[in-house]
Homo-oligomer: A and B are copies of this chain.
């Protein structure tokens, strides 16, 4: 498998965790989001993924995109160490937690949006920071509320083994901390984060551990 990744890309980080949890080997192809005006915007990368976003996974000449779709594909084709529960209600809960990050939190503070705020909208660095804090805090508050009220939350987002929800939670907390967002209001999120951070699969997927880290 060829895996197109960038060390600090949150969506790439999710898939790296999933690959590690399943013990899968892959060839990392770094795509630098800032160098040369953004390597993801080149014709060469658009031929891989026309969305010009990371990550992408190539297997037997077929390219898959979208982190959650890739993780579900890995889970369907490599079923050991499942990343979704077996029961439909559990699966729905885990997917909803993952999507709370992937649909309601992360898209608002990713690189292309922050560039648009500073460029075409001409916002100050301070207003950009306010935007980031606002949307990450909103998303973390949602995640906290869902996790804190539900007895199905365990050592991890759903019970005592990591799922795709944890693959999303950890990179989002990394983002939040990188941008200096105060996380004290989200104790359940942070407890789960600490449990994940102790596992080799999560440690080895961390941005700082990547070959393309700066």
Q: Give the residue name and chain of the B residue nearest to A76 (CB).
A: B88
A22 within 8 A of B: no
Residue in B51, B116, B134 whose beta carbon sits within 8 Å of that of A134 in the complex: B116
Segment 72-87 of A: residues with Cβ below 8 Å from B: 72-73, 76-77
The residues of B that contact A138 with a CB separation of less than 8 Å are 112
The residues of B that contact A96 with a CB separation of less than 8 Å are 64-66, 69
Q: In the bound complex, do residue A66 and residue B121 qualify as a contact, i.e. CB atoms below 8 Å apart?
A: no
A31-39, A100-108, A176-184, A204-212: which lies at the interface: A100-108
A142-150, A154-162, A192-200: which lies at the interface: A142-150
A53 within 8 A of B: yes
A68 within 8 A of B: yes
Given contact pairs A107-B108, A108-B107, A134-B116, A72 touches B51 in the complex (Cβ within 8 A): no
Residue in B46, B70, B102, B142 whose beta carbon sits within 8 Å of that of A51 in the complex: B142
Segment 40-69 of A: residues with Cβ below 8 Å from B: 46, 50-53, 62, 64-66, 68-69
Residue in B69, B88, B123 whose beta carbon sits within 8 Å of that of A99 in the complex: B69
Give the interface residue-count category, chain A: 35 or more
Bound CA–CA A51/B142 (angstroms):
5
The residues of B that contact A108 with a CB separation of less than 8 Å are 107-108, 113
Q: Give the residue name and chain of the B residue nearest to A11 (CB).
A: B103
The residues of B that contact A146 with a CB separation of less than 8 Å are 50-51, 65
Q: In the bound complex, do residue A66 and residue B107 qualify as a contact, i.e. CB atoms below 8 Å apart?
A: no
A131 within 8 A of B: yes
Bound CA–CA A51/B105 (angstroms):
11
Q: Give the residue name and chain of the B residue nearest to A50 (CB).
A: B145
The 6 closest A-B CB pairs, nearest first, are A50-B145, A69-B95, A66-B96, A73-B92, A69-B96, A66-B99
Could you show 27 A-B contacts with beta carbons less than 8 Å apart? A51-B104, A51-B142, A51-B146, A53-B104, A64-B89, A64-B92, A65-B96, A65-B146, A66-B99, A66-B100, A68-B103, A69-B92, A69-B95, A73-B89, A76-B88, A76-B91, A77-B88, A102-B103, A103-B103, A103-B106, A104-B107, A107-B108, A116-B131, A116-B134, A120-B130, A121-B127, A121-B131
